[in-house]
Amino acid sequence: MNVKGVIERGMRNSWGVILELAVVMVPAIILVGVLEAAGIMPRLAVLLEPVMSWFGLPGEAAIALVVGFLVGPYGSVGLAVGLRLSPAEMTILGTMVLIAHSLITETAIAARAGANGLIVLGARLAAALLAGVLLGQLL
Amino acid sequence: MNWGVVLSDSLHQAGSALLRIAVLIVIAMIVIEALKESGWLEKISKCLQPVMQRLYLPGEAGVPVATALFIGLAYGAGVVIQMRREGHLRRSQLTLALLFIGLFHGMIEDTLIFVSVGGNGLILLGLRAAIALAVTVAVGFWLSRREQKRLAGQESESIVENCPIGHN
């Protein structure tokens, strides 16, 4: 095995991922900071608390969940860091978002490759909610 | 309200989170390259064949699934497109393969990103795997029942057409 080549290619690929992450995460963290300072976040939290409590997550985490579902895990991680979620909450949010993320793009890719997009989308969302309810009970 | 403080706090937080994540991303990417280079990816694809059969999929589906698990969804979907062109997969199997890939892909770097901000890797990976398997089996069972019903329907229709009494 060409160890040097492996390390070189690994490093090169990492740079792309880290850059992509930074571009999404930094604005997401700033957004949370601004929403908190402006007093919008606490109101949002109270509003969404009843739904999010099924998953053992605080109300504010709803934006990290929805952004994860629709846009992608990077934005979701950024928001979660900004919200200072606990390790248990990171585990719950992460499991749900990794099961169902970037649903717009990824469902389009699946449909393009020949799948029934509606089944893929519905089953992924259902699976994420199931994981959330399970972990909400356990953690 | 001091917006300067809000901004500098946020940037500080973002910086330290990114630093932690970056370290794990580099490790993940080197591991992925090593898996490709050493031929382990092919071995894993072969080992996945019996699992694929449990998921109502042909054994060859191990290749796109292993690709998606370690390299990413788009690459796995690319392999599925290739297999579809070669006529290896029926419509219901395409849906099942892409459902499983959708539920469970990019398992190294995506998991490590949440681990680096405090998540429990064992739960992130284990529960995701368990739910991906269970949901794919459930949908596969449902799709195969639906297919059988449709086939049974076609058979009874053809019996009616061929029945001499019906035509007289």
Rounded to the nearest angstrom, the minimum Cα separation between A107 and chain B is 8
Q: Is the dihedral of CA B50, B52, B53, B59 positive or negative?
A: negative
In a domain, B103, yes or no: yes
In a domain, B133, yes or no: yes
ipTM for this model = 0.92
In angstroms, the CA A23 to CA A71 distance is: 13
Q: What is the 3-state secondary structure (H, E, C) of B135-163?
A: HHHHHHHHHHHHHHHHHHHHHHHHHHHHC
* Angle (CA) B73 A99 B80, round 5°: 25
pLDDT digits (tens, 9 = 90+) for B39-71: 999 999 999 999 999 999 999 999 999 999 999
In angstroms, the CA B82 to CA A107 distance is: 18
In angstroms, the CA B22 to CA A122 distance is: 33
> B127: which chain A residues are within 8 Å (Cβ-Cβ)?
95, 131, 134-135
> B117: which chain A residues are within 8 Å (Cβ-Cβ)?
77, 80-81, 90
| Radius of gyration of chain B from its Cα atoms, rounded to whole angstroms | 23
pLDDT digits (tens, 9 = 90+) for A89-121: 999 999 999 999 999 999 999 999 999 999 999
**How many CB pairs lie under 8 A apart between chains A and B?**
195
pLDDT digits (tens, 9 = 90+) for B92-149: 999 999 999 999 999 999 999 999 999 999 999 999 999 999 999 999 999 999 988 8
Say whether pLDDT at B168 is over 50. Answer: no
- Which residue of A88, A95, A106 is in closest CB contact with B73? A106
Range(s) of the domain holding residue B42: 3-161
- Report the candidate in A135, A34, A70 with the shortest Cα–Cα distance to residue B5: A34
In a domain, B168, yes or no: no
> A33: which chain B residues are within 8 Å (Cβ-Cβ)?
6-7, 9-10, 13
**What is the pLDDT, as a whole number, of residue B152?**
85
Phi, psi of A85 (to 5 degrees): -65, 150
> Would residue A56 be called left, alpha or beta, if left means φ above 0 and alpha means ψ between -120 and 50 degrees?
left
Considering A28-32, A37-41, A55-59, the range whose residues carry the highest mean pLDDT is A55-59
In a domain, B166, yes or no: no
- Which residue of B14, B21, B114 is in closest CB contact with A29? B14
Q: Which of residues 73-112 of A touch B (CB under 8 A)?
A: 73-74, 77-78, 80-82, 85-88, 90-91, 93-95, 97-100, 106-107, 109-110, 112
The total number of structural domains that make up chain B: 1
- Report the candidate in B76, B139, B106 with the shortest Cα–Cα distance to residue A126: B139
Are the CB atoms for B128 and A131 separated by under 8 Å? yes
Interface test with B, best of A95, A97, A134, A137 (most B CBs within 10 A): A95
Residue B44, amino acid:
I
Cβ neighbours for A45, distance < 8 A, ≥ 6 positions apart: A58, A59, A60
**What is the pLDDT, as a whole number, of residue B88?**
84
In a domain, B148, yes or no: yes
Rounded to the nearest angstrom, the minimum Cα separation between A58 and chain B is 16
**What is the pLDDT, as a whole number, of residue B163?**
52
Cβ neighbours for A30, distance < 8 A, ≥ 6 positions apart: A82, B6, B7, B10, B11, B14
Say whether pLDDT at B1 is over 80. Answer: no
Say whether pLDDT at A61 is over 60. Answer: yes
* One-character DSSP codes across B21-86: HHHHHHHHHHHHHHHHHTTHHHHHHHHTHHHHHHTT--GGGHHHHHHHHHT-HHHHHHHHHHHHHT
